Amino acid sequence: MKKYISLLTVLFLLLGIHAAPLEAFAVNGAALEKFVQALEQSDVGLSEKEDVLVEQLRQRIAVKSRVKPPVFGAPESTIAYDDVYVFEYTGARESVDALTYYRSLSTTAWAEPDSICRAQSLGDDYGDDMLGTTEALAYLNTAFSEVASVQVAVVDTGIDFDYFADYRQRLTDSGVNTCNSGTADSALDDNGHGSMVSEIILRSTGDNVHITGYKVLNHNGFGDDLGIAAAIKKAADDGAAIINLSLGGIKNDITLDAVDYAYEKGAIVVCAAGNESANAGKMAPACSEKALTIGALDKSGHKSDYSNFGKEVDFVAPGTDIYFAYKEKTASGTSFASPYVAAEIALLLGAAPGLNFEQVKKTLAGTCVSAEALNYQSGFFPCSQDCGVENKNGYPTEIFSTQASYKDYFGNGMPEIDTCLRQLNNEPAISIPEFLTAPGSYTDTELTLAFAPEAGTSIYYTLDESFPTKESTLYTEPIAMETLTSVRAVAYTASGSRSFVQSGTYLPFYHANPADFTLSQDGSAITAYTGTKANIIVPEQIAGYTPTHMVLTAPNVDLDGITLPESIKTCALEDTPIRTTPFLIDAPGLEEVTSAHNCFYRTAFVNLPRIRAFHCQSLFLRELTLPQAQEVTLVCANLQSATLPNLEVIRDDAFNKCYSLKELYAPRATTIGRRAFSACYRLQKAELPMVKQAEKNGNAHAFNNTYCLKELNLPALEHIDTSFFSGSGVKTLYAPALISTDSLPQNEVSYLADEPIPEKEHARIYLSSAFESCTATIERTKIVPVLLKKRYYRNLIDFYGTDGTFAQDFATQNGARFTALPLLVSEPENMGYPSAGILQAEAVGYALTYQWYGTNGKDNRFGTPLRGENAATLHTQAYDFNYYYCEITHHDGALQSTIRTGESDNACYDVNDDGSVDIRDIALMLPFIGQPVTAQNTRCDVNYDGIIDIADISILTNSQIYGVEI
Catalytic: which of 114, 125, 156, 941? 156
3-state secondary structure of 872: coil
| Per-residue pLDDT tens digits for 610-658 | 888 777 776 667 778 888 888 888 877 677 788 889 998 898 888 888 8
pLDDT at 597: 54
Taking the C-alpha atoms of residue 723 and residue 729, their distance in angstroms, rounded to an integer, is: 13
Spot the catalytic one: 6, 77, 288, 335. Answer: 335
pLDDT of residue 759: 60
Share of the chain above pLDDT 90, in %: 27
Looking at residue 596, its pLDDT comes to 56
* Alpha-carbon span 698 to 674, nearest angstrom: 6
Residue type, 756: P
Average pLDDT, the chain: 79
The more confident residue out of 390 and 734 is: 734
Q: Indicate yes or no: pTM above 0.75.
A: no
Half-sphere exposure of 573 (CA within 13 A, CB side): 22
Please classify residue 325 by burial: count the beta carbons closer than 10 Å to its beta carbon, then call 0-12 exposed, 13-18 middle and 19+ buried: middle
Rounded mean pLDDT, 393-414: 51
| Tens of pLDDT, residues 879-934 | 888 788 889 999 998 899 998 887 766 566 677 777 777 788 888 888 888 888 88
Which pLDDT value is given to residue 442? 87
Q: Would you call the peptide bond into 715 cis, given omega within 30 degrees of 0 as the criterion?
A: no
Q: How far is residue 640's CA from residue 708's CA, in Å, rounded to a whole number?
A: 13
User: Could you give the percent of the chain with pLDDT greater than 70?
Assistant: 79
For residue 787, pLDDT beyond 70: no
CB neighbourhood size of 37 (10 A): 15
pLDDT greater at residue 240 or residue 440: 240
Q: What is the pLDDT of residue 792?
A: 47
Of the segments 553-567, 588-602, 927-941, which one has the largest average pLDDT value? 553-567
193 is catalytic: yes
What is d(CA 1, CA 113) in angstroms, rounded to the nearest whole number? 11
832: left (phi over 0), alpha (psi -120 to 50) or beta: left
What type of residue sits at position 69? P
Higher pLDDT: 77 or 133? It is 133
* Beta-carbon count within 10 A of 521 CB: 7
Full 3-state SS string of 247-277: CCEECCHHHHHHHHHHHHCCCEEEEECCCCC
Q: Residue 756 has what pLDDT?
A: 54
Burial 289-306 (b: 16+ CB within 10 A, else e): ebbbbbbbbbbbbbbbbb
83 is a catalytic site residue: no
Q: Across residues 132-139, what is the average pLDDT? A: 87
DSSP 709-739: --EEE-TT--EE-TTTTTT----EEE-TT--
719 is catalytic: no
Q: Which residue has the higher pLDDT, 4 or 212?
A: 212
Query: Sheet of 864-865: strands edge to edge?
Result: 864-865, 849-855, 883-892, 895-900
Task: Please name the residues in contact with 307: beta carbons below 8 A apart, sequence gap of 6 or more.
Answer: 273, 274, 275, 277, 295, 296, 297, 316, 319, 334, 337, 409
Above 60 in pLDDT, residue 805? yes
Average pLDDT over residues 852-870: 82
Most confident range (mean pLDDT) of 267-271, 384-388, 700-704 is 267-271
pLDDT tens column, 461-504 = 998 778 888 888 999 999 888 887 888 899 999 888 889 888 88
Closest alpha carbon to 56 in 67, 65, 45, 70: 45
- DSSP secondary structure string for all residues of 399-424: GS---S-HHHHHTT-EE-HHHHHHHH
In sequence order, what DSSP letters do the residues of 171-197 get, joined into one string? EEEEEEE-SSSS-TT--B-SSSHHHHH
| Residue 58 to residue 4: CA distance in whole angstroms | 15
Residue 256 has pLDDT above 50, yes or no: yes
- Give dist(CA 596, CA 575) in Å, integer: 8
DSSP 8-state symbol, 309? B
Of the residues 6, 42, 193, 401, which is catalytic? 193
Helix, strand, or coil here: 166? helix
